[in-house]
């Protein structure tokens, strides 16, 4: 099939490359000419394992091209996927769907044959039906142009794998033959026995936002329990295991630490609350505001521990290990790690940030922090070390190895990846989120 993908950001670039891998002819379209220039020569403007190689392979095979022109894709494709962003509207929790609307209007103006438009972007419930009205108003009335909603559940760091082998395919349609067209698009995947759920627009839209809100709730649930183990004692990691081994609960998304961030979970939690309010159902999603509160309190706790361990932040050097919102990503959107580094800097500390992939993105956002090229450089002059993103490189740290490159003997494990006992045995002042903090040395807590 001939397929266009509108929007070649994180989601669209992955989707376009994976559709080419499934055997389709694909054109990726973006209004940003710089993005298109780099993709056209097989270069990825962000970090994602396996994706650059896949794009380069299919650009070379001729199955994948890139353009900035709707006039090129409108008359050409059988199916048009919309994968543009739906960012948070300035100052509000609600999602801004104007890029999706603009894409629909541009397609309506340029499509000259029967075709199917498929939304992949995460949108508030009710958007697809509204877009269908725009489409009907603006399209050539002699053509049959359908609309479907097909949310995407890929995770950063696993984008290619999740797209080629998803755990479900959700198709929101208003006509059976649109579901058939999409099943044909995903034939290579459907053959692997992936469950396909065919439903209406509203359910499809809600499944996506509900999934992210549920995942965020799970993370905040275990992090709320962290507050209890910090006060009462106990090991949050073992507690999570004890919960997760119940198959009705499940083990995933119960890793306690600095909380959730990134381009999806925080935004979707806010957007779902905002949409519920618009629908007069504010109470139904009210608990999500607690989910957000717990999430932010983890950052405050990390800052509190740092302050307690140092006694005073001014003129102290802190090594912030990690800036990305999670490992295997260079994404710093809504990153808890970067937020903690900035809070410490604002409180007067000299913060040296090291992230294996996200330094450049972090420096664009917060140029005043001090960015260094290696872990050794970050910790060399440090008074305190904070593990803020659970990169493998940090999870492998041992007190002896680290002790040979720094004189610091204070560390906060904000991601629960280090062994408490080992560090304390080697004489380090060690604190972890979710563990009761027992200081190794005398100190005077600040702001307790």
Task: Give the binding site for ligand UDX (CB under 6 A).
Answer: 152-156, 212, 215, 219, 253-255, 257, 259-262, 264-265, 325-326
| Alpha-carbon span 269 to 264, nearest angstrom | 8
Q: For the CB of residue 310, give the shortest distance to ligand UDX in the complex, in Å.
A: 25
Q: For the CB of residue 6, give the shortest distance to ligand UDX in the complex, in Å.
A: 18
Give the residue among 392, 382, 386 at the shortest CA–CA distance from 357.
392
| Alpha-carbon span 320 to 352, nearest angstrom | 6
Q: For the CB of residue 296, give the shortest distance to ligand UDX in the complex, in Å.
A: 13
Comparison of 19 and 349: residue with beta carbon closer to ligand UDX = 19
Comparison of 67 and 226: residue with beta carbon closer to ligand UDX = 226
Task: Write phi, then psi, for 87 (nearest 5 degrees).
Answer: -65, 170
Comparison of 83 and 397: residue with beta carbon closer to ligand UDX = 83
| Alpha-carbon span 298 to 223, nearest angstrom | 7
| Alpha-carbon span 197 to 223, nearest angstrom | 32
Paired with 338 in beta bridges are none
| Alpha-carbon span 260 to 288, nearest angstrom | 13
Neighbouring CB atoms inside 10 A of 374's CB total 12
| Alpha-carbon span 277 to 270, nearest angstrom | 11
Catalytic (active-site) positions: 264
Tokens of 165: 């082998």
Give the residue among 292, 233, 197 at the shortest CA–CA distance from 434.
233
Q: For the CB of residue 71, give the shortest distance to ligand UDX in the complex, in Å.
A: 31
Decide: 325 and 335 in contact? Cβ < 8 Å. Answer: yes
Comparison of 214 and 441: residue with beta carbon closer to ligand UDX = 214
Comparison of 59 and 432: residue with beta carbon closer to ligand UDX = 432
Q: For the CB of residue 333, give the shortest distance to ligand UDX in the complex, in Å.
A: 9
Q: For the CB of residue 152, give the shortest distance to ligand UDX in the complex, in Å.
A: 6
| Alpha-carbon span 28 to 35, nearest angstrom | 11
Q: How far is CA 27 from CA 6, 11, 98, 133, 315, in A?
A: 9, 14, 22, 26, 53
Decide: 21 and 59 in contact? Cβ < 8 Å. Answer: no
| Alpha-carbon span 204 to 202, nearest angstrom | 5
């Amino acid at each position: 099939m001939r397929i266009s993908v509108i929007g070649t950001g994180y989601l669209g670039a992955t989707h376009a490359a994976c559709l080419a891998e499934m055997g389709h002819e694909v054109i990726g379209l973006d209004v940003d000419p710089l993005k298109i220039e780099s993709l056209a020569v097989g270069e990825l403007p962000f970090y994602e394992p396996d994706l650059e190689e896949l794009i380069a392979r299919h650009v070379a095979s001729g199955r994948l091209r890139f353009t900035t022109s709707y006039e090129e894709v409108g008359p050409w494709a059988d199916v048009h996927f919309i994968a543009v962003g739906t960012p948070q509207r300035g100052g509000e929790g609600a999602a801004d769907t104007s890029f999706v609307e603009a894409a629909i209007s541009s397609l309506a103006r340029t499509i000259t044959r029967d075709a199917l438009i498929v939304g992949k972007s995460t949108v508030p419930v009710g958007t697809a039906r509204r877009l269908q009205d725009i489409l009907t108003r603006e399209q050539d009335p002699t053509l049959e142009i359908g609309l479907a909603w097909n949310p995407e559940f890929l995770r950063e760091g696993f984008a290619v794998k999740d797209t080629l082998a998803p755990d479900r395919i959700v198709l929101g349609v208003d006509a059976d033959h649109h579901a058939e067209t999409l099943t044909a698009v995903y034939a290579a995947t459907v053959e692997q026995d992936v469950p396909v759920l065919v439903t209406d627009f509203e359910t499809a839209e809600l499944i996506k936002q509900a999934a992210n809100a549920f995942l965020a709730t799970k993370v905040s649930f275990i992090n709320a329990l962290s507050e209890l183990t910090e006060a009462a004692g106990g090991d949050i990691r073992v507690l999570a295991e004890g919960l997760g081994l119940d198959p009705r609960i499940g083990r995933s998304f119960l890793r306690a630490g600095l909380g959730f961030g990134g381009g999806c979970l925080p935004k979707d939690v806010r957007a779902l609350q905002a949409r519920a309010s618009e629908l007069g159902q504010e109470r139904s999603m009210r608990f999500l505001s607690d989910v957000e509160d717990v999430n932010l309190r983890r950052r405050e706790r990390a800052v509190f521990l740092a302050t307690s361990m140092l006694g005073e932040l001014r003129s102290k050097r802190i090594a912030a290990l990690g800036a990305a919102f999670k490992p295997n990503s260079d994404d710093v959107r809504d990153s808890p790690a970067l937020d903690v580094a900035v809070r410490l800097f604002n409180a007067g500390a000299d913060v040296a940030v090291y992230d294996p992939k996200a330094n450049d993105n972090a420096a664009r956002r917060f140029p005043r922090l001090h960015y260094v090229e290696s872990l050794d450089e970050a910790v060399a002059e440090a008074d305190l070390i904070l593990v803020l993103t659970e990169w493998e490189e940090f999870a492998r740290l041992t007190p002896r190895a680290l002790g040979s490159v720094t004189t610091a003997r204070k560390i906060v494990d904000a991601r629960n990846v280090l062994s408490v006992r080992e560090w304390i045995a080697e004489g380090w002042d060690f604190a972890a989120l979710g563990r009761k903090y027992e200081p190794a040395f005398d100190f005077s807590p600040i702001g307790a």
